[in-house]
Amino acid sequence: MSEATRSGGCLCGGVRYTVAWPLQMLVTCSCTNCQKQSGSALSVVGVVARDDLALSGTLATFTDRADSGNAVYRQFCNRCGSPVLTDTDAARAQGIIFFKAGTLDRTDDLDPATHMWTRSAQGWMVFPDHHAKLPEQQDETDGKA
C-alpha cells in the first residue's frame, strides 16, 4: 500500500504536521540564508499544496528577504527553534507552501532531484550527476526556501 500522507514535526514535538504524500516537489537549497537558518549545509525543502498541510503547535516567524527584496517568512518552533515552514507571498498566490523535509519522521527514502543555489554550496557537497543543479533560484517561488 502506498502512503497517502506523511508526518513530521520539530525536535521538541511541540509542532506536528501531516502532508499529502508523495510531495509535489522535493529540492535542496544551499543558499547562504538556508545554511544560516539550519546551521547545516543546506535545507531539504518539500513543496505541498497549502490545503494538503495540516499543522498543530506554535510557530514563530522570522521575516527574511530574498535577493529580490521580497519577504520570505521563515517559521520555526517557538520552543526548540527547529525550522518547519517557509512561506512567501508568491507561494500564497500559487496555493503552495514549503516545509523543511528534514523534519519528517521518515527521511531515509527522500530523493530531492533538484538542487538550488549550488553556487553557494559548501565545497564538500557532491550532488548526484543525474540531478538538476541550479546555480541560483530560477523559478517563480521567489525565495530562498
Of 34, 44, 85, 91, which one interacts with Zn ion (CB under 5 A)? 34
Please list the residues that pair with 54 across neighbouring strands: 18
Of 19, 23, 72, 77, which one interacts with Zn ion (CB under 5 A)? 77
Residue with cell 543558499: 31
Binding of Zn ion by 14 (CB under 5 A): yes
Spell out the residues 6+ positions from residue 124 whose beta carbon is closer than 8 angstroms to its own.
none
Please list the residues that pair with 73 across neighbouring strands: 63, 87
Binding of Zn ion by 40 (CB under 5 A): no
Scanning 21-29, 64-72, 92-100, 103-111 for contacts with Zn ion by CB under 5 A, the matching segment is 21-29
The cell numbers describing 23, all together, are 510531495
Q: Which residues bind Zn ion (CB under 5 A)?
A: 10, 12, 14, 29, 31, 34, 77, 79-80, 144
